[in-house]
Amino acid sequence: MNRNVYALIIILAIALFSCKPKTNTSNLTSSLQMNIIDSLTVKTAADSLKAKYPHANTADIAAGVKQVARFWMSSDGTTIEYVKFCTVNYLATEAEKLVAFEKISRNMEVLNGNYNKISLSLKEPLHLTGSDITAVDQMFGGYEPSSHLGDDFFKNKIAFFVLLNYKFYSLSEKTELGSKWTRQQWALARLGELCKSRIPGELLLTYGDVVTKADTYISEYNIFMGNLINAKHEKLFPADMKLITHWGLRDELKSNYKGDRGLEKQRIIYAVMNHIINQDIPMEVINSGKYHWNPLTNKIYNNQKEVAINPEPNSRYEWLLNNFKALKAMDAYNPFFPTYIKAQFESNMEIPQPDVEKLFVELVSSPEVKKVAALIEKRLERKLEPFDIWYDGFKARSIVNTAELDKITRKRYPNAEAFERDIPNLLVNLGFKADKASYIASKIQVDAARGSGHAWGSQMKGDKAHLRTRIGKDGMDYKGFNIAVHEFGHCVEQTLTLYDIDYYLLNGVPNTAFTEALAFIFQKRDLELLGIKDNDPLKSDLMALDIFWSNYEIMGVSMVDMNVWKWLYQHQDATKEQLKEAVIIIAKDIWNKYYAEIFGVKDQSILAVYSHMIDNPLYLSAYPIGHLIDFQIEKAVEGKNFADEVMRIYNHGRIIPQLWLKENLGQELSDKPLLEAVDKALTKVK
């Protein structure tokens, strides 16, 4: 999972995760009114500039003074001071604008990079293995020193300088004009987005406190698998197995398509997941190995004697609700994107939410779903069960003995330092030349994570991307390696798109789906990196089926996520109990529309299990879009040098998604290439 989102500054990218103390947000809306400059004053400012600069572009002048007026508050000055500011600070020539552009770019790298570095360091006790997390760790981990940067930019007028001199382009304008822009024009357009919201620091601090605690809640949500029992009080899982929800549970479920009593284990894991969603999971079994637990009956035992349970008090939905309230409070200060839904899709993802949902519906309701499901049933020699949305049999690793893979990875990577030392070799194995491999590796640091792991990129040259991965006391097991390779893909992208991009304001990728795509591409090569060759002539066909089935699952999950947020905006005073009920209803509704016929059972809520819903609001859509991009990139690099193609493709930086895809791959985002490949694969794969 890409956690680079933590490193962003909300004034620059709306989805930013910052931090700390709670404040009375009800007073902020009334005391910090924006858009107080009337149209007559705006006209006065424009006329003053036209008189001062008769040869200047009148459309640019009009756009600039309107943008300043839209964010001006009474605390910024009188109407006379507004007009004076515009008159004094307008840059009338392109040469002047370019000089200021270079200076601002340099300064933003200094600010972004150092704030990111501080935030990363403060969160280390929360994210990395070590002593128990204390209240002080929570306080410092929840503190974000950049949280007042937006306020400061408006107070010292930097934000108004940018708004006055650099146009903010809507998504529709970028879609219409972007193909004709030079790289420099794209960088200037990104500068115009620097101050697209004016969210008070108090609200950023409040949200940071919420999201940090929600992240800790998820990171510390482990199930002691060795304490799970069946009706005969048999233990089916290793005594020392401890799995984080949902990632660890899901991956263990996937691994049990092979091996002894796999189906029974999968049914137990599925029951665990449902108890988490329903919040009737006993508090006694969360991150604790004190009791034995039969998830199928939801009973706990001490020395085979049943013990009364205390269900989790809807904490999962309380954190989701807290996230919504904290983000909703910011809407009034984000005039270009007045809801978090619009901000997340039209600002961060730069694909409208209805377009994303339409794309997902097209795939999950396609005729290919029934055909692939029928193939899976034949392979399993049984009817599908709901947890088969995670069927893993189209991957080469599904036929490899996991225990043998564990031995290989544990020996090779006894600790984080061993993985870091091996990065140059991993890159060379992927086709990177030795000098480039060393160059990239020198900019990545590997840390042992408390949770499942994440990647946290640098925001300035000279700093390192951090690959956080979970490593057991006996070393990195295969599942940990597989996840680490995924995060490794993120770190390679983060390094290439910072160090090899021509303009700092274009660093990164169009949206998080694009970094997920490269992470998926790396993750699929994990066996290759272990020296295990897959010579299967059906490899590309299996890959198409695997990506398709993965998308079928995650698109449903994402639709639940999106529709929950729509519901929240319609029910802003909901309680955590009402929210839980709504999430379960929405999950069952999506299931009944697109999954019930395939699996032969209605009213399943399993699509609501993903932890991202709790600690990473509206992030889930990045995964299926990432899978589609992953597939399109795989087809583009087929038969070519992988490393060279990755460096070429990821050298475009942060332009809008559809243009990035068209320029790099010759086609925009679509389900069709994947569906066509699935149809072809179905004629060959048995």
| Residue where a domain stops, chosen among 529, 555, 577 | 529
Residues 14 and 74 in one domain: yes
Do 15 and 160 belong together in one domain? yes
- The reply to whether 87 and 14 lie within a common domain is yes
Last residue of a domain, one of 508, 529, 550: 529
Give the residue, 634 or 46, on which the prediction is more confident: 46
**What mean pLDDT, rounded, does the chain reach?**
91
Residue the block writes with tokens 């097209």? 362
Torsion of CA 72, 78, 81, 85, to 10 degrees: 0
Give the DSSP letter string of 121-155: HHTHHHHBSSSPP-HHHHHHHT--GGGGHHHHHHH
Q: What is the mean pLDDT of residues 480-492?
A: 95
Confidence of residue 446 (pLDDT cuts 50, 70, 90): very high
pLDDT grade for 2, boundaries at 50, 70 and 90: very low
Q: Looking at the structure, do residues 129 and 14 belong to the same domain, yes or no?
A: yes
pLDDT tens-place string over residues 567-612 = 999 999 999 999 999 999 999 999 999 999 999 999 999 999 999 9
User: Is 648 domain-assigned?
Assistant: no
> In terms of domains, do 75 and 200 share one?
yes
Closest CA to 200 of 351, 449, 23: 23
pLDDT at 399: 57
In a domain, residue 647? The reply is: no
Residues in CB range of 441: below 8 A, 6 or more apart: 420, 423, 424, 427
Residue with tokens 């791959």, as numbered in its chain: 665
**Residues 196, 327: one domain?**
yes
What is the mean pLDDT of the segment spanning 349-356?
A: 95
- Report the 10 Å Cβ neighbour count for 642: 15
Residue 248 within a domain: yes
**DSSP classification of residue 530:** T
Q: Are residues 200 and 271 in the same domain?
A: no
Q: What is the pLDDT of residue 11?
A: 33
pLDDT at 202: 85
Angle at CA of residue 653, ends 651 and 655, nearest 5°: 130
Note whether residue 342 is domain-resident.
no
pLDDT confidence of residue 519: 92
Q: In what order do the strands lie in the sheet with 465-469?
A: 444-448, 465-469, 453-456
β partners of residue 537: none
The answer to whether residues 49 and 171 belong to one domain is: yes
Least confident window among 7-11, 240-244, 534-538:
7-11
Instruction: State residue 28's pLDDT score.
Output: 47
The stretch 380-395 carries a mean pLDDT of 95
Structural domain includes residue 116: yes
Distance (Å) of CA 428 to CA 190, 332, 626: 34, 50, 25
512 and 586 part of one domain: no
Closest CA to 555 of 274, 357, 372: 357
**pLDDT value, residue 14:** 35
DSSP SS3 for 298: coil
- Render pLDDT for 279-305 as a digit per residue (tens, 0 to 9): 999 999 999 999 999 999 999 999 999
Q: 12-21, 59-68, 416-425, 540-549 — which is least confidently predicted?
A: 12-21
Domain encompassing residue 605: 351-394+536-620+656-682
- Which amino acid is located at 179 in the chain? S
Number of other residues whose CB lies within 10 A of the CB of residue 128: 15
Euclidean distance between CA atoms 505 and 185, whole angstroms:
11
Q: How confident is the model at residue 396 (pLDDT cuts 50, 70, 90)?
A: low
**Same domain membership, residue 411 and residue 474:** yes
Strand partners, 293: 228, 300
Query: What percent of the chain has pLDDT above 90?
Result: 79
Question: Is 74 domain-assigned?
Answer: yes
Domain limit, last residue, from 475, 497, 529: 529
In this structure, the answer to whether residues 303 and 363 fall within a common structural domain is no
**What single-letter DSSP state applies at residue 193?**
T
Q: Quick one: pLDDT at residue 353? A: 96
Alpha-carbon separation of residue 414 from 410, 531, 650 (angstroms): 5, 18, 32
Structurally, the chain folds into a number of domains equal to 4
Residue 684 has pLDDT above 70, yes or no: yes
Q: Which of 268, 242, 273 is nearest to 256 (CA)?
A: 268
Please state, in angstroms and rounded to a whole number, the distance separating the CA atoms of residues 200 and 291.
Answer: 46
Exposed e or buried b for every residue in 80-101, given b needs 16+ CB within 10 A?
eebbebbbeebbbeeeeeeebb
How much of the chain exceeds pLDDT 70, in percent? 95
- The token duo for 675 is 């569906």
**Could you read off the pLDDT of 46-101 as tens digits, one per residue?**
999 999 999 999 999 999 999 999 999 999 999 999 999 999 999 999 999 999 99
Joined together, the tokens standing for residue 442 give 């020198």
Tens of pLDDT along 521-576? Answer: 999 899 999 998 877 788 889 989 999 999 999 999 999 999 999 999 999 999 99
Q: Which of 76, 77, 89 has its CA nearest to residue 48?
A: 89
Residue 273 within any structural domain of the chain:
yes
Assigned domain for 638 exists: no
In a shared domain, residues 416 and 436: yes
Residue 82 neighbours by CB under 8 Å, 6+ apart: 37, 41, 45, 68, 69, 72, 76
Query: Any idea what the Cα angle at residue 610 is, between residues 597 and 516, rounded to 5°?
Result: 100
Please say if the pLDDT value at position 22 is more than 80: no
Question: Would you place residue 4 in the very low, low, confident or very high pLDDT band (cuts 50, 70, 90)?
Answer: very low
Average pLDDT over residues 310-333: 96
3-state secondary structure of 242: strand
Lowest mean pLDDT among 97-111, 125-139, 174-188, 456-470: 125-139
Most confident of 145-149, 282-286, 331-335: 282-286
In 3D space, the residue among 116, 106, 114, 83 whose CA is nearest the CA of residue 191 turns out to be: 106
